[in-house]
Structure 1
């Protein structure tokens, strides 16, 4: 049975992410940090980071840990990719905050 949705691609990607998190043997915080490092290495767009905000929050990921990962991978992936990742992460956080504010406004 197929479930109808207005965002089938985004829903599929979110389901894949959640399935990967549930099946991985790494502690959740280590899994998210690994995925963030991989996204930075791939020069992923902001929406890719956006899909990881909720799991990152649930795992207790801190800004300091995130910065440590970016510092650790900089010599491997390069400063341009790390700076790009930092910008994309900031943009994803801005999107998440805007969506949360919109949801709160609609509920009020």
Structure 2
């Protein structure tokens, strides 16, 4: 019997991702680079790249490594897909930065409020 959840699609994707990682022998960097290459090949939207930003940062991926993947797959997937992916990645990074700034601002405001009460 299915369990109820407010986010059944996200829960399913998370479970699939965990299962995939557990069954995969690739190291963190190679796993993320492979997934990014697959996202490019599928012409994935920015939200799909957004889900990979935190794992990419944790795996210490560099911009140069990401660029190398895009260069390597361009002859296979096509330049239009690679350029579209670059735009989607840029949008995802911009959104992630905006969220991070918003969270940092909220933390700073909460800290200021707690100090003013002391």
Shift in Å at residue 18 of structure 1? 4.1
Shift in Å at residue 68 of structure 1? 0.3
Shift in Å at residue 23 of structure 1? 3.2
1:70-98 deviations in whole A, cap 9, x for unaligned? Answer: 00000000000000000000110011111
Query: In the superposition, relative to structure 1, how do residues 96 and 16 fare at CA in structure 2: closer, same or farther (>3 Å)?
Result: farther
For the 8 Å contact 1:29–1:61, the answer to whether it is kept is yes
Equivalent residue number for residue 97 of structure 1: 97
CA RMSD of aligned residues (A): 1.8
Instruction: Give the distance between the partners of 1:42 and 1:99, measured in 2 at CA.
Output: 26
Equivalent residue number for residue 61 of structure 2: 61
Instruction: Give the distance between the partners of 1:58 and 1:25, measured in 2 at CA.
Output: 18
Unaligned 5+ runs, structure 2: 109-118
Q: Bigger shift: 7-16 or 35-44?
A: 7-16
Larger Rg: 2
For the 8 Å contact 1:50–1:92, the answer to whether it is kept is yes
Given the two structures, how large is their TM-score scaled by the length of structure 2? 0.80
For the 8 Å contact 1:21–1:28, the answer to whether it is kept is no
Shift in Å at residue 9 of structure 1? 3.2
1:44-55, aligned counterparts within 5 Å? 44-55=44-55
Q: Would you say how many aligned residue pairs link Structure 1 and Structure 2?
A: 107
Unaligned 5+ runs, structure 1: none
Runs of 4+ in 1 over 4 A off after TM superposition: 1-5
